[in-house]
Amino acid sequence: MQTVEDAPVIGSEPQLFIDDTIISAKRGVVRTLHPARKLEQPVLRPDRPWEGRRVYIYGSVYHDNDAGLFRMWYNTRLGRGQQERAPGLRGRTGDIVLYAESVDGVHWEKPGLGQHEFDGSRDNNILFFDKHSPTVIVDADAPPEYRFKMAAWNWDQDASGYWIAHSADGLNWREYDVNPILMRDEILESVTVARHPRTGGYFAFHRLWGEVRGHVRRLVAVATSRDFATWTSHGVCLVPDEQDDAWIQDPGQRTEFYGMAGFVYGGRFLGFLPVFDVIKDARGESGMPASVAADGSKGLHAPAVISETGAEIDQAPWDGPIAAQLVHSRDGRNWQRFEDRSPIIPRGGPGSFDAGCILCSADRPLIRGDEVWHYYTAVSTMHGGPMPPKTISIGLAKWRLDGFVSLDAGHFDGVVETVPLQLAGEGLEVNVDAGDGSLAVEVLSAAGEPLAGFAREDCQTIDADGVRQAVRWAGKVRLPMGQPLRLRFHLENAELYSFRIREAGQP
């Protein structure tokens, strides 16, 4: 018989039903992906001279509870030839890291920081020149000067590669003395970093060129660190498979992964993966620009398209739509695709601000009350559309709490039974929509026998829609302690999103 030591420990973290890891049996239920609900308009647009014509949330959004503010670190790309307007800008891409604040997370202000000059003035919200995809980690346990940690791609031609810095306030930064830290000889300018709250380890998810079935493509790779300064690369962790390429009709077409926002949610890793269907490549069928060396180290941002007069056009050579799919991992290194590959963040309808691409997104979502919020980069045309008329802005996607995936039952009894679990608390809460149906829960021994007083008929049926609904048995809310237990959920016309264990003393 399974012992307490062998059973997975389940506490206050939500247990999602992304896969069957903690499920021993289920019948009469289907696993359903729930696409995000999106605001109809962007929450941030490029409306300052130093933002050019685009803003990206290759970056982070954090809610500062002390200040009562949302804080955003985001990107723009001015392109070439902007050095006269921005002294100190060296890289050819014209990438700039910017900062914004908001009271409600929807309406944003761009404060004057006075740190860098643009068009002869320092009244702007510029934080850094020549940096890209700035992930900001807030470490409450660190010394004050290391409370904020940033990892970004550095386009500085003397020290290209990943670059890290630290700050006491998120505005005034000092770089570590170990820069560049990782992969300095490759073009990998899309990175998000996650910190596991339990182990303290850091995970960097970045873009990497690699050959798959005859095409050089964008892939997703992972690196890890214990201290944020010394990193170990573990190589590619997500590769397009044959199912991804099933749509192609012409030899030059292919599927690529544009990057990934990987984050810890409910004690496991989830990811939003931008899947890029490359329908046309202006630089040839191989997928790799002719100016890029065999190791992927040079020339990625050479002029994209050249007109008949020889002028550079603001247009990417790779064309096609991008939408975000859900991926998951138990350890942050070995990743799986969710069984339903329809978009978790879908593109908008024709004429909308995100009709063409869900290009990239913030490094992690935010929990706001009974909802999950996630900021994403929206493109109005496909990737290779000319600018103008293409617009690039930042949108906001939302789900109910834990609402990415549910197990759904219809009119007939659906049953979901877990493996033996060590329940580290005294009460059970469920996130379920049973407004048109019902949910009841049995508590079983590790061998699968119902415990006295915790059978289905003892359970007070739940017939409401709520994200934190307490389960009661004959008036009792406290679970048996000191032994591994199974939970058996009975659903009728209901959607079960997650469950969690309420710790002793927790309301």
pLDDT value for 137: 95
Element (H, E) at 466: strand 465-470
Q: Tell me what percent of the residues of the chain surpass a pLDDT of 70.
A: 90
Cα(408)–Cα(415) distance, integer angstroms: 10
Query: 308 pLDDT exceeds 80?
Result: no
Cα(377)–Cα(365) distance, integer angstroms: 13
Coil, strand, or helix at residue 185?
A: coil
Query: 480 pLDDT exceeds 90?
Result: no
Please provide the average confidence, as pLDDT, over all residues in the chain.
89
CA dihedral 102, 107, 112, 118 (to 10 degrees): 130
Q: What angle do CA 131, 134, 138 make, to 5 degrees?
A: 140
Reported as a single tens digit per residue, the pLDDT across 414-444 is 999 999 999 888 899 999 999 999 999 999 9
Query: 200 pLDDT exceeds 80?
Result: yes
Q: Which of 2.115.10.20, 2.30.130.10, 1.10.3720.10, 3.40.30.10 is the CATH number of 37-293+303-400? A: 2.115.10.20
pLDDT value for 289: 40
Query: 117 pLDDT exceeds 60?
Result: yes
pLDDT value for 83: 86
User: Mean pLDDT throughout 200-220?
Assistant: 92
**Spatial CA neighbour of 374 closest among 39, 12, 110:** 39
**Spatial CA neighbour of 109 closest among 72, 159, 141, 143:** 72
Cα(398)–Cα(34) distance, integer angstroms: 10
User: Mean pLDDT throughout 238-256?
Assistant: 94
pLDDT value for 185: 53
User: Mean pLDDT throughout 203-215?
Assistant: 91
Q: What angle do CA 366, 344, 26 make, to 5 degrees?
A: 100
pLDDT value for 284: 57
User: Mean pLDDT throughout 127-141?
Assistant: 92
User: Mean pLDDT throughout 396-414?
Assistant: 96
Within the chain, all domains assigned CATH 2.60.120 are found at: 9-33+406-502
Reported as a single tens digit per residue, the pLDDT across 139-188 is 988 999 999 999 998 887 666 688 899 999 999 999 999 888 875 555 56
pLDDT value for 108: 98
Reported as a single tens digit per residue, the pLDDT across 320-371 is 999 999 999 999 999 999 999 999 999 999 999 999 999 999 999 999 999 9
User: Mean pLDDT throughout 443-463?
Assistant: 95
Reported as a single tens digit per residue, the pLDDT across 316-329 is 788 999 999 999 99
Coil, strand, or helix at residue 354?
A: coil
User: Is the pTM for the entire model greater than 0.75?
Assistant: yes
Cα(17)–Cα(150) distance, integer angstroms: 32
**Spatial CA neighbour of 129 closest among 180, 190, 85, 181:** 85
User: Mean pLDDT throughout 91-99?
Assistant: 88
pLDDT value for 194: 94
Q: What angle do CA 140, 141, 147 make, to 5 degrees?
A: 50
Q: Which of 2.60.120, 1.10.20, 3.40.50, 3.30.70 is the CATH number of 9-33+406-502? A: 2.60.120
The pLDDT-based confidence of 290 (bands split at 50, 70, 90) is: very low
| DSSP output for 53-90 | TB-EEEEEEEEETTTTEEEEEEEEE--SS-TTTSTT--
Lowest mean pLDDT among 233-247, 301-315, 446-460: 301-315
User: Mean pLDDT throughout 270-295?
Assistant: 68
The pLDDT-based confidence of 298 (bands split at 50, 70, 90) is: very low
pLDDT value for 209: 87
Cα(172)–Cα(337) distance, integer angstroms: 39
Within the chain, all domains assigned CATH 2.115.10.20 are found at: 37-293+303-400
